[in-house]
Structure 1
């Protein structure tokens, strides 16, 4: 398994955003582009992923437009790792989140707690 940091570096080197082939863990990706040096914070990324709560129906199970949100709050997650890398010209930032065990499979009712009124804001491409 490649670490989240190493996968972020691979994405930055290729200047492409795509998921890895590994199915042993959950994976969230984020991308931001700006003038060099591109700056991005963990808060910005997590708020973007969390903002998918707007698409999630807590009375249903999986919704494809809320998969980053559900993965990041998945109650059964025991390990998480994150990586950040910039493109060579430093105008593009690539962020990778990895989660064990894989989320978005199984008991959504137990693993995705109901909305508690947290502020949301999304500004990245995911």
Structure 2
């Protein structure tokens, strides 16, 4: 499934107040949302996920203090395909949602991203 199809199928949920963290066996994913913005880009989303690097402890292979799974998915060494999509929400929570899907997925328990 392409990133746009994934995002389009789930846009009502992603444009709600809470962006769910779901697990999809066949692909990995990251979702970023910026409320009230029309300028949030795919690059901004990736920067958001990469900024989580400070929360990742490679020695313990764990997140420390805050989430780091967006970062580990971005840098996962065996991922070969990435697709991203960006949509504008036109509801009371107007803003931008960016979703990227990854195959094969990362964030596999007990494995390190690199």
Q: Which bin holds the TM-score, normalised by the shorter protein?
A: 0.7 to 0.9
- In structure 2, the residue matched to 1:46 is 46
Contact 1:11 1:18 in 2 (8 A): no
Counterpart mapping for 1:79-98 below 5 A? 79-88=81-90, 91-98=94-101
- In structure 2, the residue matched to 1:9 is 8
Q: CA deviation at 1:103?
A: 0.3
- In structure 1, the residue matched to 2:107 is 104
RMSD (CA atoms) = 2.2
Which runs of no fewer than 5 residues in structure 2 stay unpaired?
Answer: none
- In structure 1, the residue matched to 2:56 is 56
Which runs of no fewer than 5 residues in structure 1 stay unpaired?
Answer: 113-126
Q: 1: CA distance between counterparts of 2:20 and 2:77?
A: 25
C-alpha spacing 1:99/1:40, structure 2 compared with 1 (3 Å): same
CA deviation vs aligned residue, 1:74-119 (integer Å, no higher than 9, x gap): 11101111111111259311111101111011530xx32xxxxxxx
Contact 2:42 2:84 in 1 (8 A): no
TM-score with structure 2 setting the length:
0.79
Larger fraction in strand: 2
Structure 2 residue matching 1:30: 3-state secondary structure: strand
Pair member with larger Rg: 1
Report the number of matched residues: 107
Structure 1 residue matching 2:68: 3-state secondary structure: helix
TM-score with structure 1 setting the length:
0.72
